[in-house]
A and B are shown apart, each in its own frame.
Chain A
Amino acid sequence: MSRLRRDPRMERAAHRIAGTPRPRFDLAAASAATSAATSAAPGRLRRDPRGEERLALVPGTPRRRLDRTQRVALAPAGAVPAAAMAETAPRLVVIAEPAYLVAVVPDAPGGRLTPHDRQVIGAARLLADAGGGAVLALVEMPGEDLAAAGVDRVLGLPVAGYDPEAKAALLHAVLDGLDIRHALLPESADGADLARRLAALTGEALFAGAESLTAKAITRAAQGRRIEQRRAPPRLITLAADASAPHGGAPHEAIPVVFALPTLAPGAILSAEFVPADPASVGLDEADFVVSAGNGVHDFTAFRALVAALNATPGASRMVCDAGLMPRAAQVGASGTVLDARCYFALGIAGAPQHLQGVARCEHVVAVNTDLHAAMIERAGLAIVADAQKVMPALIDALTGAGAAEAQP
């Protein structure tokens, strides 16, 4: 209980005037002192419901809204935050003298970071910021998105073709040569392979598939997901997907580092050839590029021809699948398939919230729709307000025309 128990004898004793032979109590004078004492005492304070409500009021909304959780620091409305934003936005974080390095080896197919790579860099940022370190990215092809992802230093790994053994040997040389406290890799197909090669080369323990990471502790599942292992972050770590947030702050400088890499003999792999997935046979959840038809598409022969010409996987909205114009397996959205595609091309789809949930993880969205105010137009990176029925034949013409023009010379 927060309310204090009263002790009347003690209260009376507090009123007693000292230095008199007979006990005398000055209740009038002491009452002011006791009232001051009670108001300052840690007993129950009087609530001010109106004041609390005023604090919880969210400013800047047309309807009166209260945020009783108070988890967001309430920013004073006005021009002050805008000025602060303008001041902070272009600033670059510079770590001139890092205490140590946290190495990251992103997959970065074609020099572009994947979302998983960004999460790994975010985790490395966390480990580096805990002790004044810097994040070093070891990439085959340095791209321009590394600075925004939160990388301080970049080192290129010259590996010709697919040769994970050589890449692991180069990484081993870098880990030996530089002051690297942690090395983080994504637990993806290539990253997982590379991390295990590196662990076998160095003989160090690998903390594989970490599911949560802080500067003090890191966890992973073991024994068929029945046991959780937990320890302080070791040197070699691979991070599972969606385990850490990507770096959301100001960009870092991403300056190149000079390091003398050793030259290596060729390995046992004699040749490697990339075979792209057949988009017609690959499942919608695995597809890389999805072209989807909605209620604005009537000519499904042209739609299928367009999908084939674009070398994409066909998808559809719920309306089209309900009408039986496309198979149910092609439905995109909350009750269909949640896509993991790189690009989503929506033809004649307005974008119901349930449909947009299915597209949430797509990196690029292109939309063609007649309604300027459709949610899909707002979501798209390239939005075209036009009739999808008319755009489809033009696209097929442009694609086949481009193909014919390429074939002629």
Chain B
Amino acid sequence: MKIAILFSAGRHAASGRPAPVPVELQAIRLARELIGQAAGDAAGDAAGDLSGDAPGVITGFHAGPDAGPLKDALGHGLSRLVQLSIGAQDDPLPSLAAALGAERFDLVLAGRSGQGGEDAGLLPYALARALGLPIVADACALAAGPQPGTLSLEQALPRGARRRLILRLPALITVHPAAPAPLPFAFAAMRRGMLETREGVPAPRAAGEVEERAYRARPKLIAKSAAGASATERLKAATEAASSGGRLLVDPSPEDAAREILAHLRQIGVLRH
């Protein structure tokens, strides 16, 4: 199985220095474990450092002026990284589409949203459309599907829920931060890994009507009380939700109370059975 992983020019969340994006490092682990499963090797550890005759190869792709800190990804279990050399302001989509279209990959993994550019998370979708691949968002576990040529994946939903999907390959999948943590960094693996530089497709972006300025954090909306109201009223607005005319039962028998509570919980759809 041939797997490609897309890398973006990330920044560290705290220091702001250039660094790989954690979700993309998690994608390396998912890909390695998937290949390990396919090779019948449950640990999946031996599958990464291999050459052409092995059951699977993982290739990383980055379109940008410089690979820079993305060499760290080689230390986290990636065997080969291809840097497509384009200008800093260029659109990476044509370069990536050309590179991925030239080789036939079974699976393309990407982070949930890249960093460094628009941060809109739009590139995987545009790329999937350019390559004619189906796309599935927010995967947190991958496994081989029941039939050959299919993939079983778990999609992370809010509040800890999951959705199990079976998907026909080839496909493009974006990875959710709920996936298992990246493999630990190994310096020797980074030295061993191959970094290849190719010329990308220069694609200058058209100047849009977007005005850019320094970011300013805006206050989030909180429950509003009438301005100028007393402190008690403001506290009440912060602590009380819009009450929908609560029902009050005074001193019912425990059985009546239990019946009422269960009926109410079923009515609001919290209790399924």
Question: Which of chain B's residues has its CB closest to A165's CB?
Answer: B134
Which of B67-75, B184-192, B239-247 lies at the binding interface? B239-247
Partner of A343, one of B118, B213, B226, B268: B268
**B241 and A72: CB pair below 8 A?**
no
Partner of B214, one of A67, A71, A227, A356: A227
**A384 and B160: CB pair below 8 A?**
no
CB-CB under 8 A from B264, the residues of chain A are: 366, 381-382
CB-CB under 8 A from B135, the residues of chain A are: 197
CB-CB under 8 A from B252, the residues of chain A are: 384, 386
Interface size class of A (residues with CB under 8 A): 35 or more
Bound form: Cα–Cα A386–B228 in Å: 38
**B168 and A231: CB pair below 8 A?**
no
Which of A38-46, A47-55, A98-106, A390-398 lies at the binding interface? A390-398
**A364 and B249: CB pair below 8 A?**
no
With a 10 A CB-CB cut-off, give which of B154, B166, B254, B265 has the most chain A CB atoms: B254
**B167 and A208: CB pair below 8 A?**
no
Bound form: Cα–Cα A268–B131 in Å: 14
Binary contact readout A347-361 vs B (1 if CB under 8 angstroms, 0 otherwise):
000000100110111
Bound form: Cα–Cα A206–B235 in Å: 38
Which A residues between 227 and 243 are near B, CB-CB below 8 angstroms? 227-232, 242-243
**B258 and A206: CB pair below 8 A?**
no
**A208 and B121: CB pair below 8 A?**
yes
Which A residues between 301 and 335 are near B, CB-CB below 8 angstroms? 310-311
Q: A72-B226, A110-B269, A385-B250 are in contact. Are A366 and B261 (CB under 8 A)?
A: yes
Q: Does A36 contact B (CB under 8 A)?
A: no
CB-CB under 8 A from A242, the residues of chain B are: 220-221
Which A residues between 215 and 230 are near B, CB-CB below 8 angstroms? 219, 221-230
Cross-chain pair count, CB within 8 angstroms: 255
Q: Does B104 contact A (CB under 8 A)?
A: no
CB-CB under 8 A from B126, the residues of chain A are: 199-200
CB-CB under 8 A from A340, the residues of chain B are: 159
Q: A193-B137, A212-B218 are in contact. Are A227 and B212 (CB under 8 A)?
A: yes
**A288 and B164: CB pair below 8 A?**
no
Which B residues between 104 and 155 are near A, CB-CB below 8 angstroms? 115-122, 124-126, 128-129, 134-138, 150, 154
Instruction: Count chain B residues whose beta carbon lies closer than 8 angstroms to a beta carbon of A.
Output: 85
Bound form: Cα–Cα A383–B271 in Å: 18
Partner of A228, one of B209, B214, B258: B214
**A386 and B251: CB pair below 8 A?**
yes
**A200 and B122: CB pair below 8 A?**
yes
Q: Which residues of A contact B (CB under 8 A)?
A: 58, 61, 65, 67, 69-72, 110, 112, 119, 162, 165, 188-189, 192-193, 196-197, 199-201, 205-206, 208-209, 211-212, 219, 221-232, 242-245, 267-278, 281-283, 286-289, 310-311, 340, 342-343, 345, 353, 356-357, 359-366, 368, 372, 377-386, 390-391, 393-395, 397-399, 402-403, 406
Q: Which residues of B contact A (CB under 8 A)?
A: 10-11, 16, 115-122, 124-126, 128-129, 134-138, 150, 154, 156-168, 171, 208-216, 218, 220-221, 223-224, 226-228, 230, 235, 238-241, 243-244, 246-252, 254-255, 257-262, 264-265, 268-273
- Provide 19 A-B residue pairs closer than 8 Å at the C-beta atoms, listed in order of the A residue: A112-B269, A192-B121, A222-B117, A226-B215, A267-B134, A268-B168, A272-B163, A274-B161, A277-B160, A286-B160, A343-B268, A345-B265, A356-B240, A379-B239, A379-B243, A381-B243, A385-B248, A391-B257, A403-B273
Given contacts A196-B137, A211-B218, A271-B165, 16 further A-B contacts (CB under 8 A): A189-B157, A200-B129, A201-B129, A206-B120, A208-B118, A222-B117, A226-B214, A229-B211, A230-B211, A270-B166, A272-B163, A272-B166, A277-B159, A311-B271, A356-B239, A378-B240
